[in-house]
Structure 1
Amino acid sequence: MSAQPFDDRDGFIWYNGKLIPWREAQFHVLTHGLHYASSVFEGQRAYSGKVFKSREHSERLINSGRILGFEIPYSAEQIDAAIEETVKANGLTDAYIRPVAWRGAETMGVATKGSKVHLAIATWVWPSYFSPEAREKGLRLHLAEWRRPAPHTAPVRAKAAGLYMIASMNKDAASAEGFDDALMMDYKGRVAEATGANIFFIKDGKLHTPTVECVLDGITRQTAIELAERRGIEVIVRDIWPEEMADFDGAFLTGTAAEIAPLGEIGPYKYAVQELCKDLMDDYTNLVNGRL
């Protein structure tokens, strides 16, 4: 990621219906979303000028807001168009895209009545979340301290900003220990996901991936399953327990930022980067670039 601060850049951000200069995209310090996490967002990518699965992301953004109890004042079609407008205005073809919706500073307090819902879209050049060197030899994951919450204690079906506090704490702890990321368990102690990506395991030519009771059913996760099934690879969705990781042949992460990223180590468990994973990485690259 570039070391350039995100609040001091050239370009444009789409903000509540219009493009404005990047540095002017600001909100008040008493914004409800900042104090009470009434905010949802998406992570998307454009490849060769085309936004990958834009409609799925826009619909999920709207649904995430509804789960948190607010209605984003734009349709999926309008959000798709705004995303394309923002990418074009910034002169980008390969880019990361961040739509975010939040409750504003019209009121203060836990209650949300009277607060306005805002929407902004930013885009910038951001290569794959992990370096080519790390991906080639397989990422190293720390075993996280903090767990994913139970579905009856948090809005786990929403891509909600508040849920990422735990991810940030785990990511920082992993980085401090020299790891690339962290693997989180859920409230029952089952394997859940990394801090911003879903996880798959490989065993005897089959894929195993955790259920999504406590995690977001990622759009890249869904795409990886589709690509595997296209190759005739069986995908088994089930509860996975930490001790099972000793018996898998390989593993990889999936996410918009991470794309498909092989793993070489999870805590005490070591893996070789599998050909099956390399094949899916190639398929994903071809798919997002319109070659598949």
Structure 2
Amino acid sequence: MAGYDDRDGVIWMDGEFVPWRDAKVHVLTHAMHYASSVFEGERAYNGKIFKSREHSERLIASAEALDMPMPYTVDQIEAAKAETLKASGLQDAYVRALVWRGSGEDMGVASAKNPVRMAIAVWGWGAYYGDAKMQGAKLDIAEWKRPSPETIPVHAKAAGLYMICTISKHKAEAKGCSDALFMDYRGYVAEATGANVFFVKDGEVHTPLPDCFLNGITRQTVIQMLKDKGITVHERHILPEEMADFEQCWLTGTAAEVTPVGQIGDYTFEVGDMTRDIAESYEKLVRS
């Protein structure tokens, strides 16, 4: 497959379609130097973006958290995403909406004089973890920790928050793993590099409390699905040693969807009935 900069098609940029290969920014773009950017990852199924409006609302909230005044409303973002999906010709696709500080009068830490820009790209993207979606992913345990809410806007989907994710995922893949699991700054189980985590014990579900990391839209969807099935869900702080007693585990995220986990570090899990059921139920929901 060609690199992401060398493809046919169009990308929506600042209100108009640009040929894919021409969708470029200047090397002195503020976001490239200071991570002043936020984004959303979304999936379309059968030509419809799942939870599209919630993603657009979160994009604006993330931009506000980074002091970037959005030049578009939720309705305008929704219309732009729909137009871009249609232009792609795809029915099942991944949708990336990106907002960033561009190049302008400022080139230090401050960037209030620089324009806030936006782009939307759509491409085909299969299972994020490949075969692991059926067999169960293997996760490393990251050396880095999710930071305290006092240090960074942890609930924004901001590019800068993914720096330790990239480092940790590279190390995990070098070990033959699909991903890495973070602890938070207090030592509690947090999340994977781009997905939330769930555990099963005695027919009940346990998932980390998202008080220092992103409360994923897929996470929220799956929690409601579990409750609708009459399954008890505990959102709480989880100590890493508790993983020894959990029977099943899965990850959730727009890209990950619902992916079973077979191993985290030295802890192993079965790909059990509840995991398979929630994965199948999620698949039906997004295509309904």
TM-score range, shorter chain: over 0.9
Q: Which residue of 1 aligns with 2:193?
A: 195
Alignment partner of 2:207: what SS?
Answer: strand
- Please give the alpha-carbon distance, in whole angstroms, between the structure 2 residues aligned to 1:24 and 1:193: 36
Q: Which residue of 1 aligns with 2:14?
A: 16
Q: Which residue of 1 aligns with 2:120?
A: 121
Deviation at 1:20, TM superposition (A): 1.1
Asked if 1:155 corresponds to 2:153, the answer is yes
- Where do 1:1-292 residues align within 5 Å? 3-106=1-104, 107-131=106-130, 133-290=131-288
- Please give the alpha-carbon distance, in whole angstroms, between the structure 2 residues aligned to 1:6 and 1:29: 18
- Please give the alpha-carbon distance, in whole angstroms, between the structure 1 residues aligned to 2:192 and 2:216: 12
Q: In 1, are the aligned partners of 2:218 and 2:257 still within 8 Å (CA)? A: yes
Alignment partner of 2:138: what SS?
Answer: strand
Alignment partner of 1:144: what SS?
Answer: strand
Deviation at 1:113, TM superposition (A): 2.0
- Please give the alpha-carbon distance, in whole angstroms, between the structure 2 residues aligned to 1:26 and 1:112: 20
Post-superposition Cα deviations, 1:67-113, rounded to whole Å, max 9, x if no partner, equal 00111100111111101100110101000000000001102110112
- Unaligned stretches of 5+ residues in structure 2: none
Post-superposition Cα deviations, 1:123-162, rounded to whole Å, max 9, x if no partner, equal 000012011x322221000010111111100110100000
Query: How many residue pairs were aligned?
Result: 287
Q: In 1, are the aligned partners of 2:127 and 2:133 still within 8 Å (CA)? A: no
TM-score (norm 2): 0.99
What is the letter of the counterpart of residue 234 of structure 1? T
Identity %: 56
Alignment partner of 1:102: what SS?
Answer: strand
- Please give the alpha-carbon distance, in whole angstroms, between the structure 1 residues aligned to 2:265 and 2:62: 32
TM-score (norm 1): 0.97
- Please give the alpha-carbon distance, in whole angstroms, between the structure 1 residues aligned to 2:50 and 2:19: 25
- Unaligned stretches of 5+ residues in structure 1: none
The runs of at least 4 aligned residues of structure 1 exceeding 2 Å deviation read none
Task: Tell me whether 60-69 or 70-79 shows the greater mean CA deviation.
Answer: 70-79
Deviation at 1:10, TM superposition (A): 0.2
CA RMSD of aligned residues (A): 0.7
